[in-house]
């Protein structure tokens, strides 16, 4: 297993947040350092997913503008209703 280099980083937080992190860390039987690393990791993971979704949306919009292919909301709703009922159905065909 390859060791990943870890570098210290300083952040500035006000005393209130520092105390709140300390109280929460104590309650979770963790260190403040662990809690902050976990919070940053979760934030970065969530924001990366959000950015990927945003990029997919922009790509879909560009594709639509180029070719005009789409499904209506009613078609999409009917398809999703079938999926909710447990039916394994193909998505509706895109059309102009």
pLDDT for 15-63, tens place per residue? 999 999 999 999 999 999 999 999 999 999 999 999 999 999 999 999 9
Q: Note the Cα 92 to chain centre separation in Å.
A: 26
- Rounded distance, CA 25 to CA 38, Å? 11
Q: Quickly count: other Cβ atoms within 10 Å of residue 94's Cβ.
A: 13
Segments forming the whole domain that contains residue 31:
15-84
Domain membership of residue 25 (yes or no) is yes
- Rounded distance, CA 77 to CA 25, Å? 45
Domain membership of residue 6 (yes or no) is no
Domain membership of residue 42 (yes or no) is yes
Query: Which letter does DSSP use for residue 70 in this model?
Result: B
Q: What is the pTM of this model?
A: 0.76
Number of domains, the chain: 1
Q: Kindly tell me if the per-residue pLDDT of 1 is higher than 90.
A: no
């Amino acid at each position: 297993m390859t060791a990943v280099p870890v570098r210290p980083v300083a952040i500035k937080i006000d005393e209130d947040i520092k105390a709140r992190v300390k109280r929460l860390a104590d309650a979770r039987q963790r260190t403040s350092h662990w809690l902050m690393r976990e919070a940053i990791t979760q934030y970065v993971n969530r924001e990366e997913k959000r950015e990927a979704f945003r990029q997919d949306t922009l790509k879909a919009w560009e594709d639509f503008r180029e070719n005009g292919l789409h499904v209506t909301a009613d078609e999409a709703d009917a398809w999703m209703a079938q999926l909710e009922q447990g039916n394994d159905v193909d998505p509706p065909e895109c059309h102009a």
